[in-house]
Structure 1
Amino acid sequence: MSRNSLLLKMELRSDPRMLCVVRAALGQLGESAGFLPEEVRSMVLAVDEAMTNVIRHAYHGRIDQPIEVDCRHSQLLDNGVLRDALEIVLKDKGVRVKAEELRGRPLDEVRPGGLGLQFIRESMDSVRFRHQKGTNRLHLVKFLRQAEPRQEAEGGVVCN
């Protein structure tokens, strides 16, 4: 894979029935990129939650509005170290959301709703939102873990 190469681009409508398509595609992409199964599951659920929020809040439930999902392999700095990453950018033309309004509620408040953004932030290594030229952009990054050496029975080292 080359640096900053586009892996997948989906142009969808804001129909909740399309969420299963995105989940399946991202699941396969995450697996083929080398993420652990639990990392794939959390990434898929984070993107699912983000798209659900776009449908519900940016488009107020309208099912005919555009959503674009771009997935790229990138090499990004993480604490001064260049690392392989999967970048996922969701774009919509819905109601503009102010970045300062994108905050989860305290986890000790027991009531439905409001935990999606918290879950997204915990699942991804970087979450950034911006509005530019009439488009909301949610930029999600997940770094690929380095394969850790494991000891063989005879004391040799094998990398995964």
Structure 2
Amino acid sequence: MTLLLNGAVPVAAAVPVAAAQPAPARMGHWTPAIGGRIAQRAERWLGWPYSFGAGNAEGPTFGHPVDADSRNDGSVYGFDCSGLTLFAVAPWRSLPHEASQQYHAAGTFHPALDQLQPGDLVFWSRDGTVSGIGHVAVYLGNGQVVQAPRSGLDVTVTPLYGVEHAYMGATRPLS
């Protein structure tokens, strides 16, 4: 079995998410109540379109094209994955608009899969490294995340194991 940073295993080798461990009452500036609010702020945008480079601390913005799939994103008002997480965490912490940078910028505690709590940011990496992170979502609980998946799709709730196969790890915001 291959282990990634923080002891996580790649999704293809992982077993389904076990029941979450009890959340600590406080971890840095994170609390279960704030985690729940982060999850709610992301869920607020369910059904809004994905747009590459879009979204900020205030909400949705227009994106910009970077390839054939995103060619229309300059006229699409919505969020990309890191724009959605940036918005969700904005009342408590300013985050960069780059998934790989959010891994460390959001917090210092990187929970294992069985430690995930609502509001944790969950990351996927093409090569198992932080610099290879290309996608981020907000954990909702019960093995579900809210994500802005890709151009042409809307912000949606997805099973954690239905996002991508290259799971990297997670960060507890404000920890």
TM-score calculated relative to the size of structure 2: 0.29
TM-score calculated relative to the size of structure 1: 0.31
RCO greater where, 1 or 2, for CA within 8 Å and sep 6 or more?
2
Query: Hey, which of these two has a bigger chunk of helix by percent?
Result: 1
Larger Rg: 1
